[in-house]
């Protein structure tokens, strides 16, 4: 892969890239339930890295070489697969979610005494 070729990819472009890759290299999508199980597995791997890197758990030999960025990218890949399979425009959904949070949570966190520095 050419360096930085995909570094400025939008979510929409990422969805198209994943779809093209699945149809060319992956033969077909796994079914939605399988991808949901895979997403759960990948999130578990993220949790494992975080628990060992930032938490109190110690690393095991099997944890060697695990990288948080790589694990998060695995989550994103499967999330994009599920979005593609279910006809969700993830870019549009993300923008809508940000707008919702901007209205709903505009001052909510600022008023939370638990978040005061």
Domain extents in the chain: 11-90
Classify burial at 74, counting beta carbons within 10 Å of its beta carbon; exposed 0-12, middle 13-18, buried 19 or more: middle
Furthest C-alpha separation in the chain: 52
Burial label for 35, CB within 10 Å (0-12, 13-18, 19+), is buried
Q: What is the pLDDT of residue 59?
A: 86
CATH 2.60.40.420 assigned to 11-90 = no
DSSP state at residue 27: S
pLDDT value of residue 5: 80
pLDDT by residue, tens only, the chain of 117 residues: 456 788 899 999 999 999 999 999 988 999 999 999 999 999 999 999 999 999 998 888 888 889 999 999 999 999 999 999 999 999 999 999 999 988 888 888 888 888 887
Region for residue 113 given its phi and psi (left: phi exceeds 0; alpha: psi -120 to 50; beta: otherwise): alpha
């Amino acid at each position: 892969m050419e360096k930085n070729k995909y570094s400025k990819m939008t979510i929409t472009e990422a969805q198209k890239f994943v779809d093209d890759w699945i149809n060319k290299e992956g033969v077909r999508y796994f079914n939605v339930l399988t991808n949901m199980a895979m997403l759960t597995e990948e999130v578990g791997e993220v949790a494992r890295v975080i628990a060992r890197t930032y938490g109190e758990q110690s690393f095991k030999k099997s944890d060697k070489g695990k990288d948080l960025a790589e694990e998060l990218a695995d989550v994103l890949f499967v999330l994009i697969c599920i979005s593609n399979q279910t006809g969700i425009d993830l870019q549009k959904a993300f923008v809508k979610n940000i707008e919702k949070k901007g209205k709903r949570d505009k001052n909510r966190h600022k008023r939370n005494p638990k978040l005061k520095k």
